[in-house]
Chain A
């Protein structure tokens, strides 16, 4: 019999109490228990970054984190970036610069870029590239995504 763990965590600012089986990943919990389907399952192998969320302020691959580990954690998904339907500048620029095509990588890209800008509000192109190496995109060729991050910090 699989054991269950009651965990209390903050997801996009709301406190949640969930009962999770010992083998559930954070990815599955967010998507299937909480309906946060902005968190994408691309590879379930830690390689593509589509499942990226912020955990205690840092980007992690939610497919490689167990839900039971998240007791007391603070998690932010792409759904938590905008407020009252108002997109943040990073999101607006990603659209404006053509950094979204199929959109599958977009939530993870946004979270990784958001984490970078919080830590470093004025990143160089190289710093942007380094912050996004864990996020694969099969459509855009990356250049437009990097342009969008740059544009989002321009005055």
Chain B
């Protein structure tokens, strides 16, 4: 496997950015490598001269409270996200998504940063973060900046970060308050195929029978991670009943683009199962919100 010549292991964000800019190009960052190494071996990734391993950067390995947000470093392995009480208490959807990513061995190395940076419309961690109202922290030579999560994505496999000078440092998720809860579910074949047939994450703020606020993310529902904003608007500040969910599903189907993908599912199948998947996920989040 002669796919790259150099390997660097920076130990700070600024050193990583410097390597990204100055190491023999093309330079490609690697975190867990569970996506990247596979793509390179299968010839689906552009050649690299230097790989920079981000997993030794301490700032990218923290999970902590920052103000009214939960911060998760881009390089925290998925298994450590699963073990975090802070994440369990504030982002149920992310826990459920991480718990479904591959098996234990992959979860011990795979990261949320890699899941998001790959910019696929149905990556499980990505869909959970989209519903949780996350923002991304981007590192570049000028320092750090926050970017609303969905602005990260330009198209399938295309992220908005400048690959020659920027990295994802981590993610901010608003802390959860009373009445707020989230859930994540997916439909997939057992084993083998990494991405789901369809996945769905719901975050909501509920009050007795009223949906005060809601965010719905579904993948793949378009070329980038899809937020069902029309259905969200319809449900916001409405009394919950069966009819509201049925109407919301209609809006999801109108707004989303549920295409056929050759090895996963047909468009018809996806459109058929979206109603059940959405209402199951919604109900799970609703139940949690009532008990929170």
Contact = CB atoms under 8 A, between A and B. Distances in A.
**A and B: interacting chains:** yes
Interface of A: 1-3, 5, 22-23, 25, 44-47, 49, 52, 55, 58-61, 64-66, 68-69, 71, 112, 115, 130-131, 133-136
A131 B53 CA distance: 27
Contact of A59 (B30, B105, B191): B105
Contact of B7 (A44, A49, A66): A66
A146 to B, nearest CB: 15
A135 B103 CA distance: 8
Interface of B: 1-7, 9, 30, 32-34, 37-38, 41, 51, 53, 55, 79, 102-106, 108-109, 191-192
Given A23-B3, A64-B32, A65-B33, A45 B104 contact: no
Contacts of B41: 44-45
Most buried by B among A25, A44, A47: A47
Nearest to B77: A58
24 contacts: A1-B5, A2-B2, A2-B6, A3-B5, A3-B7, A5-B7, A22-B4, A46-B106, A55-B108, A59-B108, A61-B106, A64-B32, A64-B37, A65-B109, A66-B33, A68-B7, A68-B9, A68-B53, A69-B53, A115-B104, A130-B104, A133-B104, A133-B191, A134-B106
Nearest to B42: A45
A21 to B, nearest CB: 9
A46 B53 contact: no
Most buried by A among B3, B32, B103: B103
Contacts of A61: 105-106, 109
Contacts of B109: 60-61, 64-65
B105 A136 contact: no
A49 B5 contact: no
A112 B7 contact: no
Most buried by A among B4, B41, B108: B108
Contact of A2 (B5, B37, B106, B191): B5
B192 to A, nearest CB: 7
A46 B6 contact: no
A23 to B, nearest CB: 5
B2 A46 contact: no
Given A46-B102, A49-B103, A69-B55, A58 B38 contact: no
Contacts of A66: 7, 30, 33, 37, 51, 53
Contacts of A64: 32-34, 37-38, 106, 109
B104 A134 contact: yes
A132 B151 CA distance: 37
Nearest to A53: B105
Nearest to B48: A23
B7 A22 contact: yes
A14 B2 CA distance: 29
A1 B4 CA distance: 10
B6 to A, nearest CB: 5
A41 to B, nearest CB: 12
A65 B105 CA distance: 11
A65 B77 CA distance: 13
A49 B105 contact: yes
B79 A58 contact: yes
Nearest to B38: A45
A7 B4 CA distance: 18
